[in-house]
Amino acid sequence: MVSIGLHLKEQEYKKTPLYIRVLHNKRKMKTNNSIFSMKDNYSKSYFDFKENIEDLKNQLEEEIEFLKSVVKQKTKRKSQIKNHIVESVIVISDDNESKNLTKEDYIEKVENYIKRLQKDFNLKIYSYDIHFDEGHIDEDGNKKINRHIHLIHSNVNMKTGKSFTKEIYKKSKRGISYIQDLISESFQMKRGELNSNKKHIKTSIYKQQQETINKQKKIIEEQEKEIEELKERLKKIEIKQNEHNNKINSLIEQLNTSKDIYTREIYLNSLINKIKIKINDNFNNPKDRKQIYKSNQFSNYKKTVREFRKQLKDFMKKDNFDINEVNKYIKLKNVDLKKYHNDLNNLQINLKLKNQKLTKEQIEILSL
């Protein structure tokens, strides 16, 4: 894409005089905007510019007086043109189309445009300079070249003595837009925006804007990186949460199991107490009760119960235990306890029979 800017305002030349522009374009003075190699730059003059600043300044003043005389000669009136020599800047966007063009291609396109200017407006061309040394480095380290061309020419139609601006509007009511079309046709490239309100900004301001944009992009990238890290942390937290929930569910199952075991233990304790109560009820004689409590059967029964209770507590201390193992153990111990319980019942029966026999003998003795 190609566009052109015409510097026609008098104030612009008061701020940056024409002789300074010439020296800048020719790279005869220090240029802060030049950050890339100048080897691809190209300069062509149709006017023998002086190299000394004062000489150049005087030379351009003389040329302006000459142009004023041309205006007076052609129009028969004193020149009212404010700037008799002006500068145009042709800007080429940094796209694939422009990157594929060689320096020779640019030279050919500029000279095509100059021929159209001379044909349509009879302008006097002083020089043109093609610059490839200005631009910036983007945040990815890529070169962004500000390709542009400085063209210095008269603001006077050398045949009519009229100003270039008036001649433009004479050609087309669209005025400066006509020049945009002309540059697009000469360069065989897409033209800039029609009726664009965009204004040219200084390179220093442009660089500041780019730095601000790059800083904002960097902040956004850092924030996006933090968001991704937070997402990863959240995933890890969710995984841990699921693991924790699984552990809780497992503990709940174990708790339910432990309740069942605890219930069995209570049952055993109650069973022992029932046996004791039963013994006390059946044997009024303390000696008989004492004999049962001291018997091997009762001792074995109590020992088995103690071992059972201890083993259950050991199971309960474990973080994880196999309920099948516990039930298997309980089943085995129940067999032992049942055996001892039967032994105690037999002992109780034998003691009762013995007691009855003793009672009968006592009665027989008393009846004699």
pLDDT per residue rounded down to tens, the chain (368 residues): 777 777 777 777 788 889 999 998 998 887 777 888 888 899 999 999 998 999 999 999 999 999 999 999 999 999 998 899 999 898 888 777 778 888 899 999 999 999 998 998 999 999 999 998 888 887 777 888 888 999 999 999 999 999 987 777 666 555 677 788 888 888 888 765 544 444 444 555 555 666 666 676 677 777 778 778 877 877 887 787 777 667 666 655 655 555 555 565 666 666 666 666 665 655 556 666 666 666 766 676 677 777 766 766 666 555 555 556 656 666 666 666 666 666 666 666 766 666 666 656 555 554 54
Count of all residues that appear for the chain in the document: 368
- CA 37/CA 12 separation, integer angstroms: 28
pLDDT at position 327, please?
A: 62
- CA 8/CA 88 separation, integer angstroms: 9
Whose tokens are 């693991």? That residue is 243
User: Alpha helices, DSSP H only, in 146-202?
Assistant: 164-171, 176-187
pLDDT at position 221, please?
A: 76
Contact 145, 132 (CB under 8 A): yes
| Amino acid making up residue 43 | S
pLDDT at position 74, please?
A: 93
Q: Look at strands 135-137 and 42-45 and give their pairing.
A: unpaired
Provide the token pair at 151.
């063209």
- How would DSSP label each residue in 10-44? HHHHHHS-HHHHHHHHTT-S--TTB-S-STT-EEE
Question: Which residues sit opposite 367 in a β-bridge?
Answer: none
pLDDT at position 143, please?
A: 83
Contact 229, 223 (CB under 8 A): no
Contact 195, 161 (CB under 8 A): no
- CA 203/CA 300 separation, integer angstroms: 104
pLDDT at position 196, please?
A: 45
- Confidence (pTM): 0.52
Please report the sign of the dihedral spanned by the C-alpha atoms of residue 278, residue 281, residue 286, residue 288: negative
Helix, strand, coil percent values for the chain (each to nearest 5): 65, 10, 25
Provide the token pair at 149.
């061309």
pLDDT at position 195, please?
A: 42
- CA 17/CA 11 separation, integer angstroms: 10
pLDDT at position 114, please?
A: 94
Provide the token pair at 207.
């660089």
Number of other CB atoms surrounding residue 304 within 10 Å: 18
